[in-house]
Structure 1
Amino acid sequence: MLDTAQTIFQEAIPTLEGWLGGPVDWKQIILIGLAPIFIGTFLIEWWVMRRRGQATQFVGKDILTNLNLGGIYQVFELIVHALFFMAAMHWVYDQRFFNVPVNIWTIVPLFILLEFCYYVFHRSSHRIRWFWCAHVVHHSGEHMNLSTAMRQSMLYSLTGYWLFFTPLMLLGVSPEITLAMYAVDLAYQYFVHTESVRKLPAWYEYIFVTPSHHRVHHGRNEQYIDKNYGGMLIIFDRIFGTFEAEEEKVEYGIVRQVHSNNILTLNLHEFIDMLRDIAKPGPIAQRLKHIWAPPEWEREPRKQPIEP
């Protein structure tokens, strides 16, 4: 059955490319196709939380901002991928070492590998300022509901998120299949942005990312910062020591909170701050370190010469 699905998928690629006039970003195509489900479940979540008297996380301006950010992200991703990065991914795929078939025997190991690539990407997005400049948009929301998942940066492609998934392409998995699997991972993540589900069965909480785990990830409480990077699986956080269980109430947002609903401000403020830090006087190596150092890194004050 999986082989048949792969054949249909591969045959659909040239057809869609012909209609769209260029390479297809299957990640965005799949996510756009799922939009009615995403919006429908968000409305159900709002209704359930309202019935419980727990709808304080639903703030109109915040939700509208999330929807606007999600829409701009979708449009920008489609354009940039069509013009530049799908071609770059195909160049990487042309250098592949193997040809790995996607079938019932390989799909699970490949998906676990993709999840590991996502873990590395997500962790880097928190610990390397260049990538944080894009990812910070997602964390700048101070409320948690399903619309928060739509709070995305339009600049992910420009910062190079796709580079983290090139190991699959070098193994012989096409960019189209890689992006389709990534879409499944991202679609799952949509449903963990909620306070409507407290805890799931222990065995599930041990293996998979749950709303409880992801609430921790969005917390700016000291013990919650930079924890629980998994997309669909929490196992890599447990292996690499970045797991944190939800205990005290989560305070959402970022340490240096940006109180704005302006789409450009939300997308660009961290880039601007990084460039300002780079522009400050000092040794060039120290100035450039702001690009790859953690977001909180600061240069040591310059020592003043001692007067005789």
Structure 2
Amino acid sequence: MDSLSSLFTQVIADSGLQDLLQRLPAWLALDERQLIFVLATPVFIGVFVWEYLKIRHDHSLVDTRESVRNFMLGAGYQTTELLFAGLIAFPVHALAYQHRLFDIPLTLTSALALWLLTDLCFYWMHRSSHRVRWFWAAHVTHHSSERMNFSTAMRQNATNIFNGGWLFYVPLSLLGFNPVWIGVCYALSLVYQFFIHTTVVGKLHPVIEYLFNTPNHHRVHHARNPGYIDTNYGGVFIIFDRLFGTFTSERADQPIEYGITRPVYSNSLLVNWLHEYRDIARDMRQPGPLGQRLQHLWRPPEWERPEHKD
């Protein structure tokens, strides 16, 4: 425990935020990404109220009870992140940082590089969250709404911290970026992404649409239409989708249908958080070789075992 505490202290000292962060409990100070997200939540609520007043008469765009539930789902996510991220994710980041390959000081250039690299890590984490069923079990909650509005951004899974998606960012600590600043970039990325969950903003200037993830691009990402599924994974930027072949635009002949291909209609927070884990366990219990049963964890969500012939 002493060695872990010293790791925490060293990382905080190297971040340059020692005076600020040491006023908080160590485990809480280290989850600065959620602190930023929590502080931004009143802004999120205010922006949602503005949007709600514009679209409240269209039930296909917003439902008051669902919106309240979305914020409750988000509160559960924030709670588990605040309680456990500093105890689960940060020790791994701190250990990687202790064995870092380079000492990377915080400068304008390194900050811009970290911002871009954080978004690259987000791209692969997000893509894996759609193509690896274990990660999808946590991410599916975010996609299960059949409406697109600012409250949908808050529709998150309380199991995220236990699911392991944060591992995609550990290479940045190993490279030599301070974990505190990685967390700051990640949190600011989440803040940006809140504002692309809306239907009240149309297409922006072509240059912006080419470089950045916009409401237009993200509406496509939330679609369950066959031609739109598993596209536009970007966080702040859309350039990685263009680079890795996962970008697509909305087509006039295919209006977006929001939601997931296997809808789950429940008002229960627990059902919304846990239904895909339940389905994975059900599929793994089916008779068959152990190797094939385990594949339900890392195969795509739609994968089915091949039939065995005696």
The answer as to 2:179 corresponding to 1:175 is: yes
- Per the normalisation by structure 2, the TM-score is 0.91
d(CA) in 1 for partners of 2:182 and 2:87? 18
1:149-228 equivalence runs, <5 A: 149-228=153-232
How far residue 8 of structure 1 moved from its aligned partner, in angstroms, is 5.8
The answer as to 2:107 corresponding to 1:123 is: no
How far residue 13 of structure 1 moved from its aligned partner, in angstroms, is 1.9
User: Where does residue 62 of structure 2 map in the other structure?
Assistant: 58
The answer as to 2:75 corresponding to 1:67 is: no
User: Where does residue 24 of structure 2 map in the other structure?
Assistant: 16
In structure 2, which of residues 32, 44, 57 is the aligned counterpart of residue 38 of structure 1?
44
d(CA) in 2 for partners of 1:85 and 1:114? 16
User: Where does residue 278 of structure 2 map in the other structure?
Assistant: 272
CA 1:22/1:72 → structure 2, altered by over 3 Å: closer, same or farther?
A: closer
Residues 230-263 of structure 1, C-alpha deviations (whole Å, 9 max, x = no match): 0000000001110010123211110011011211
The answer on whether the counterparts of 2:77 and 2:158 sit within 8 Å (CA) in structure 1 is yes
How far residue 267 of structure 1 moved from its aligned partner, in angstroms, is 0.7
SS across alignment from 1:34: helix
d(CA) in 1 for partners of 2:259 and 2:60? 15
The answer as to 2:255 corresponding to 1:249 is: yes
User: Where does residue 8 of structure 2 map in the other structure?
Assistant: none
Which letter does structure 1 place at the counterpart of 2:99?
Q
Q: Which shows bigger deviation, 95-104 or 9-18?
A: 9-18
User: Where does residue 301 of structure 1 map in the other structure?
Assistant: 307
In structure 2, which of residues 27, 45, 55 is the aligned counterpart of residue 49 of structure 1?
55
User: Where does residue 5 of structure 2 map in the other structure?
Assistant: none
d(CA) in 2 for partners of 1:216 and 1:148? 14
In structure 1, which of residues 89, 94, 98 is the aligned counterpart of residue 98 of structure 2?
94
The answer on whether the counterparts of 2:96 and 2:170 sit within 8 Å (CA) in structure 1 is yes
The answer on whether the counterparts of 1:189 and 1:232 sit within 8 Å (CA) in structure 2 is yes
The answer on whether the counterparts of 2:114 and 2:182 sit within 8 Å (CA) in structure 1 is no
Which blocks of at least 5 consecutive residues in structure 2 are unaligned? 1-13
d(CA) in 1 for partners of 2:28 and 2:185? 21
User: Where does residue 141 of structure 1 map in the other structure?
Assistant: 145
d(CA) in 1 for partners of 2:18 and 2:169? 20
SS across alignment from 1:88: helix
The answer on whether the counterparts of 1:61 and 1:261 sit within 8 Å (CA) in structure 2 is no
The answer on whether the counterparts of 1:209 and 1:234 sit within 8 Å (CA) in structure 2 is yes
d(CA) in 1 for partners of 2:176 and 2:85? 20
d(CA) in 2 for partners of 1:108 and 1:209? 17
Identity %: 45
Which letter does structure 1 place at the counterpart of 2:108?
I
How far residue 10 of structure 1 moved from its aligned partner, in angstroms, is 4.0
Residues 133-167 of structure 1, C-alpha deviations (whole Å, 9 max, x = no match): 10001001111100000000011111111100011
Q: Which shows bigger deviation, 227-236 or 82-91?
A: 82-91
d(CA) in 2 for partners of 1:74 and 1:60? 21
d(CA) in 1 for partners of 2:162 and 2:258? 27
In structure 2, which of residues 257, 265, 268 is the aligned counterpart of residue 262 of structure 1?
268
User: Where does residue 3 of structure 1 map in the other structure?
Assistant: none
d(CA) in 1 for partners of 2:258 and 2:18? 42
How far residue 95 of structure 1 moved from its aligned partner, in angstroms, is 1.6
CA 1:39/1:22 → structure 2, altered by over 3 Å: closer, same or farther?
A: closer
SS across alignment from 2:294: helix
User: Where does residue 233 of structure 1 map in the other structure?
Assistant: 237
Task: State how many pairs are aligned.
Answer: 295
User: Where does residue 115 of structure 2 map in the other structure?
Assistant: 111
d(CA) in 1 for partners of 2:46 and 2:64? 17
The answer on whether the counterparts of 2:92 and 2:170 sit within 8 Å (CA) in structure 1 is no
User: Where does residue 4 of structure 2 map in the other structure?
Assistant: none
Q: CA RMSD in A?
A: 1.6
- Per the normalisation by structure 1, the TM-score is 0.92
d(CA) in 1 for partners of 2:28 and 2:241? 38
